[in-house]
Structure 1
Amino acid sequence: MDSGTQSKLDEIASLKEVTFSYSPDQRTILNGLNMSFKRGQVTAVMGGSGCGKTTVLRLLGGQVVANTGKVLFDGDDIGSLTHQGLVRVRRKMGMLFQFGALFTDLSVFENVAFPLREHTRLDEAMIQDLVMMKLNAVGLRNARDLMPSEISGGMSRRVALARAIALDPPLIMFDEPFAGLDPIALGVTAHLIRDMNDALGATSIVVTHDVPETFEIADYVYFIAGGKIAAQGTPQELMRSNDLFVRQFIDAQPDGPVPFHYPGLAIDQDFGVTNISQSDGSIR
């Protein structure tokens, strides 16, 4: 088997020269993007707010279609699938939405049971056992009868993870799984993502901007900026990087390739004076 064939077998999903904007008169969000997601790995997609991280997940799930290029998943071209084809493909994807997105009128148990009831013909006893197994895996078996309003944000995220893996999907996507969590809940969620990925033999795509937790669990990281891949590599490689954008992001520097000042008129033009530096707004 040649290396090219082996690479395709190791790749569960990819974006090939993908360009995307929500409408012709809006800015281009992704511009010639290339990404590869390897089977069995946790891959992080990072970048500033509004850079297109979540759009990558929407493209993979078929919620939106690329303007140009291809989005591939497990041998299927997502952009060319019919509605039935999308339904078939989405059964092989699990999704943890921002802040969990639990059904507020369903108990913890029923939230996790929902995909099993919707997409299988399993009897109630089997559903009961599967839900209890998933909840036990995230440490919430004894919270099964609680309502979403009765559990914490961190617990909600764990319930959402149990729901995302209910059908044992080969691909699990996480949209900002660490947002709004306290340090303990954040650590628990991060390690559960890694542990569940390895236990299921799944592939995980984590969209986030939280550097320490992500670098601890990810096998590979993509940074998006300006609609393109600004940097990529293992966490160890990126920590050693001298790339200015990578350093600004990792070190949380307020100014750099992503400027502190919104682009536009120089400050001396706005104030009608000539003794103010145009570069940083300081007085000479």
Structure 2
Amino acid sequence: MRFAYGEREVLRGIDLRVHRGQVVAIMGGSGCGKTTLLRLIGGQLRASAGTVEVDGRDVAKLSSAELYALRRQMGMLFQFGALFTDMSVFDNVAFPLREHTGLPSSMVRDLVLMKLQAVGLRGAARLRPGELSGGMARRVALARAVALDPMLILYDEPFAGLDPISLGIIGQLIRRLNDALGAATVMVTHDVHESLAIVDYIYFVSGGGIVAQGTPDEIRASSDPFVHQFVHAEADGPVPFHYPAPPIESLFGEAAA
């Protein structure tokens, strides 16, 4: 699969699969196209070449009505949660149920409270997002993402900005909810160590393509220079620290002249 914004190629030669029951991480440096990949899966963008299939269907060939129906089977946790600030916790989680189903209010109420119970926040149902900590807000967003019992759950940087305790809780919830639903999970993240503890498989993206992949054990044991640099957060390696620039000596020479 390939994707480009006009003449600027972002992704090329991407070939990956995610099966039901799996939690798969997509890792790579900032700007390498990880979030773009999520948008392609969700049908917000269309591949320039190749196909993106969800449940055996080519997303790019779906009509608006078909894409809307497919999205009903997807859950999305946006970066930093993206809760509706003018709605209560309860109404945030109820939103996809009200939008996509014709369930009676009593059933919506029961389902919302069940989802909030699953993330430990049933008691916070009447609070507003502004009254929540960062970790609590992310858990509410997680409850909203799984409100419709999706077959596919997409996470965009679910650990960003969280303290170690909240980060660990969110990681455990992602794994537990995926297993309970029998869903497929695709998680874009920079958090190597938390991800290695909960995922089944990892793809590393760089330069628009997949440069390495493997199970957590294979990634830990990898001698691949890119994987080693990323896992160990090293400044020197295939990913350069310095943005391309002329030799600094030439700048001093210009100043002296």
Structure 1-normalised TM-score?
Answer: 0.88
Identity %: 62
CA distance in 1, matches of 2:251, 2:242: 14
1:22 aligns with 2:5: yes
Report the alpha carbon displacement of residue 266 of structure 1 after superposing the two structures with TM: 2.0
Q: How many residues align?
A: 254
CA deviations over 1:105-164 (Å, ceiling 9, x no partner): 000000000111111111111111100000000000000000000001100000001001
Report the alpha carbon displacement of residue 265 of structure 1 after superposing the two structures with TM: 1.5
Report the alpha carbon displacement of residue 80 of structure 1 after superposing the two structures with TM: 1.2
Equivalent residue, structure 2, for 1:128? 109
The runs of 4+ residues in structure 1 deviating greater than 4 Å are none
CA distance in 1, matches of 2:89, 2:144: 9
Equivalent residue, structure 1, for 2:67? 86
SS in 2 for 1:35: coil
CA deviations over 1:7-49 (Å, ceiling 9, x no partner): xxxxxxxxxxx1111222xx31101111111111000000010
| Counterparts of residues 61-76 of structure 1 (less than 5 Å) | 61-76=42-57
1:147 aligns with 2:128: yes
SS in 2 for 1:111: helix
RMSD: 1.0
Equivalent residue, structure 2, for 1:35? 16
Structure with greater Cα Rg: 1
Equivalent residue, structure 2, for 1:15? none
CA distance in 2, matches of 1:127, 1:81: 29
1:96 aligns with 2:96: no
Equivalent residue, structure 1, for 2:208? 227
Structure 2-normalised TM-score?
Answer: 0.97
Amino acid of the structure 2 residue aligned with 1:174? Y
Equivalent residue, structure 1, for 2:138? 157
Report the alpha carbon displacement of residue 236 of structure 1 after superposing the two structures with TM: 0.6
Equivalent residue, structure 2, for 1:107? 88
CA distance in 1, matches of 2:10, 2:249: 32
Report the alpha carbon displacement of residue 272 of structure 1 after superposing the two structures with TM: 2.5
Report the alpha carbon displacement of residue 88 of structure 1 after superposing the two structures with TM: 1.1
Report the alpha carbon displacement of residue 82 of structure 1 after superposing the two structures with TM: 1.2
The structure whose RCO (Cα within 8 Å, separation 6+) is larger is 2
Amino acid of the structure 2 residue aligned with 1:210? D
